[in-house]
Structure 1
């Protein structure tokens, strides 16, 4: 530990009975890596998918791909051996990548929701406003904010409870003779990082989802009104018989209305499911993270 490194993999043996855990984790890593790689490849190879909106999807898939390539393998080794078996200096780097990739994933979801919101409320002006340069700028800003919330404070030691009195990269500690990679953060860091990377994006995602629902409902009402007006106009006397087919025109309008309503309902339900999964996956973690840090800082034993 004094040399800042832990025993190598060749000097350690995995505990008995943990091989099946490693197999399951390897399968998750393979599925995560392969799935996101295929999605990125699909967007780049299909000409119809190469549009501005899908730039944000590529950024999201890239953040999830990095989780599978960089974050999950060391986590699997941690679970398999019950200790940190890599170089000691890599502990803080690993945690920095972990925080950056997860933050980038959440921020990408926020940008995607905002992009869909602008596309729905102003479809005619969307292509003029959301250019490729602006989309790339938003993606760059997303990753920059994620990096600033991870690498900068962790590598500089600003995340620590008393970073003036502690050495940098003190995420690696010795517990019961084994090196453990732990990220102990201060309350200000937990509050600021959680707010920038989860709570504020969650408010933005919830706001845009509600506005999308209202816009879809309003458009459905407008289409239904248009259908009624067309049907009424078709039934007016005095029109030439050759140019009039009220039944067919009304039927077509009704089909269009039904198709539009179903599509809006399907999109709303999809967004609702994604939003629900998002909160179920992340809300307990961030609440527990802030609560745990608050309890630690307020503990009388400290």
Structure 2
């Protein structure tokens, strides 16, 4: 059964609320262009649909959830999850915001809602009770017409310093160490860059700081002979008892994807 409401948490208060790809389109990130990102996105989308046997809607929703820029906006059925993201990396910003989507209004018009909680390997999306939202007409969720047509109510608040301890408990929501889909998505992103060509350094840095960084780990399930694997299967870092060094993963991704590092082509 569809939820009655969805929630979205944001740090601070800004005049606009745009999707990642719309912000790229409006030049919020100098040197990053849709023309560079689109071929990679198409490759990753096709791989997700084919390898995980999922619909295009779910594929795009998972791409959004794991950090690739799309037209979609992140949302959740969990008020606790929205509260976490309204304070996550807030630093000195004491103001936070919530959007509440009335599903009866959102789905009665040109709105699209994609549930991301059903795929068995997308554990982070399930932990966050994640959804993705899109409207065919409205790019800015704070525009008065979008607020009306999508059934959105925005709330702002001032945070309390005592919330910091509670916020720390929510960091598990971000973990991908037990999430197989995150590792596969990054593998297919690597493959796409290798298939086309490396991207500009701003584009590589943009992706590296947003994609969920999870190494793809495999386990041998049968052998041809000594030291010759016949079949392997993907497993998670947790299953392999491997810890993730996020900064190392980011730095390696930049070198692998950026034209500034032409001689680096493998992790």
Indicate whether the TM-score tops 0.5: no
Greater relative CO (CA pairs within 8 A, separation 6+): 2
Structure showing the higher strand proportion among its residues: 2
Report the structure number with the largest CA radius of gyration: 1
Q: TM-score, normalised by structure 2?
A: 0.28
Q: TM-score, normalised by structure 1?
A: 0.26
